[in-house]
Amino acid sequence: MKAERADFLPPFFIWLRYSSIMFDFTAYAGLFSAAFIAATIFPMQSEAILVGLILADRYSLIGLLLVASVGNTAGAAVNWLLGRGVERFRDSRWFPVSEDKLDKAQIWYRKYGKWSLLLSWLPIGGDAITVAAGVLKEPLPTFLILVFIGKALRYVVLAAATLSLI
């Protein structure tokens, strides 16, 4: 019986190690997905997931911040792509951004230019700014850099508040 138990333990520990890795991957993938969806025109909150993972004290803080920021920026890039083709569908009843919001975002974007992308993290109007950047044909590299900076700073402030650093 001792031999059987000894034979069983190494595979069990291997399984335990891989299940832990898969759990970590799932946490990061879930955060990326939530951040991605939250940045698109669909309503979702990624902040609660990030706070929960930070409080779990099991994951790399830098890793969480990078995953959330990259996911949120990738979702905003979807809005930019929508903006590039929005003129065709702007009057469609199903279009998720109202014409009024889009007009206001374009006025804001024309007034403040590419620097307004640093505010793309705002819960109200942030998505419209990213769509407006696509409509006004902001170059994708500039768009990605500025949106990433804005969204990363938001997550850093959230993490600092969660850890009672501010």
Cα 74 to Cα 69: distance, rounded to the nearest angstrom? 9
Query: What band does 22 get if pLDDT is binned at 50, 70 and 90?
Result: low
Q: Could you tell me the residue ranges of all domains in the chain?
A: 2-162
Cα 131 to Cα 148: distance, rounded to the nearest angstrom? 15
pLDDT in tens, 110-164: 888 899 999 988 888 888 889 889 988 899 999 999 999 999 999 999 999 999 8
What are the percentages of helix, strand and coil residues in the chain, rounded to 5? 80, 0, 20
Q: What is the mean pLDDT of residues 76-93?
A: 83
| DSSP per position, 57-97 | T-S-HHHHHHHHHHHHHHHHHHHHHHHHHHHHHTT-TT-SS
Q: What pLDDT is recorded for position 154?
A: 94
Instruction: Find, among 27, 46, 47, 24, the residue nearest to 37 by Cα.
Output: 46
pTM higher than 0.85? no
Cα 103 to Cα 108: distance, rounded to the nearest angstrom? 9
pLDDT in tens, 23-82: 688 899 999 999 999 998 787 889 999 999 999 988 999 999 999 999 999 999 999 998
